[in-house]
Amino acid sequence: MAHFSDAIYQLMSILMSVLMALGAITLPSTDDTLKTIDPTTVLDMVIVGDPQVSNYMPSREEGLIGFSQDLMNSNMELDALIMAGDIAENGFQEEFDRVYEDTKDINTRNMIACAGNHDIRLRDYEQSKARFLGFMNAYNTEENAQSSLYYKYMVDGYTFLVMGSEETRFEDAFISDAQLQWLNIELKQATKTGRPVFVICHYPLAESHGLPGTWGSANSDDVYGSLPTYVAPSDPDLTGSIGDQTNEVYEILNDYKNVFFITGHLHTGFGKNTYQTIDEANNVQGVNVPSVGIENKDGSYNNNGTGLYVEVTPTQVIFYARDFAQGKFLTTDEFEHTVMAYDLI
């Protein structure tokens, strides 16, 4: 079986190289390369979700290749590259290897990734965890190597808290009391600095970002405007969400200021479901990123190869919607919230 998998991996590598050489994979334009926009920026990063690269569906890789090429076309060194889960379609080692090969030349000082349900759902948990951590740790220095699917990562004094399921689940996650306590303690400490804190979790809160309607739905005509401030449901519909611990996570996030809860999982394009305030008074914001590998839905802009360029300044966190595969920032005709700036409090 191992020899068969290696053969498939080699064939996929050859196929993608041939497709690029023949021009069957369109590479991004260089007319609008990624660059620093706000001159007061002290931290910049790119966030994408759900590559879901498959060793038998080569089209999944086209968006990721375009994304990587767009970043390599820029002269920027990113402070961080963030992947919000579902790196591999089936958690195969060959799939993780393909994502690594496609992205390893991106100029970033830090790679921060969370595990999604597709990364861990089909086999023994410890095996899945080892494959995922092997993939992520390959990008970073030894001092930043991780041994758990939930962890803290520091970048120039800014805190990133990554959440992860602690057992094999098919669509949702299991978050233990120990992880909830960890999240609470780390947020309490990190928010004392007054700097924003980024919590990365593949799975959104229940009934946030248009759930349950945005789970597995067709394209929606209602893609403009914005969602109301989130209210935790007393009897939540858990469809498409983090699962049973959703309200416990919400209550912890809600206790702190300037927290940004970054999620994927929904394959929802840029539109009204992208941004949702979780707590207005404390400036706790939910941000759901589109899939970089799969065509999205329920948005005004549903292309794959998309994601967010993010700048942190001393007073704001600013999100810019970008089609990396085409090499352009979106216009307001394509997505009315193409730039979303949050003032820090």
Question: pTM of this prediction?
Answer: 0.92
Is 70:105 a contact under the CB 8 Å cutoff? no
Pick the CATH number of 2-343 from 3.40.50.1100, 3.60.21.10, 1.10.3720.10, 3.90.550.10: 3.60.21.10
Please report, for the chain, the start and end positions of each structural domain, with discontinuous segments joined by +. Answer: 2-343
Report whether pLDDT(12) > 60.
Answer: no
* pLDDT tens per residue, range 286-331: 999 999 999 999 999 999 999 999 999 999 999 999 999 999 999 9
pLDDT, residue 7, reads 52
Q: At residue 97, what are phi and psi to the nearest 5 degrees?
A: -60, -40
Q: Is the peptide bond before 314 cis (omega within 30 degrees of 0)?
A: no
Q: What does the pLDDT average to over 329-341?
A: 97
Q: H or E element: which one contains 151? A: strand 151-155
Gap between the Cα atoms of 171 and 121, Å rounded: 8
Percent of the chain with pLDDT over 70: 93
* pLDDT tens per residue, range 108-148: 999 999 999 999 998 899 999 999 999 999 999 899 999 99
Look over the chain and give the mean of its residue pLDDT values, rounded to a whole number. 92
DSSP assignment string, 239-297 = TTSS-TTHHHHHHHHTTSSSEEEEE-SS-B-BSTTSEEEEETTTTEEEEEPPBSSS--B
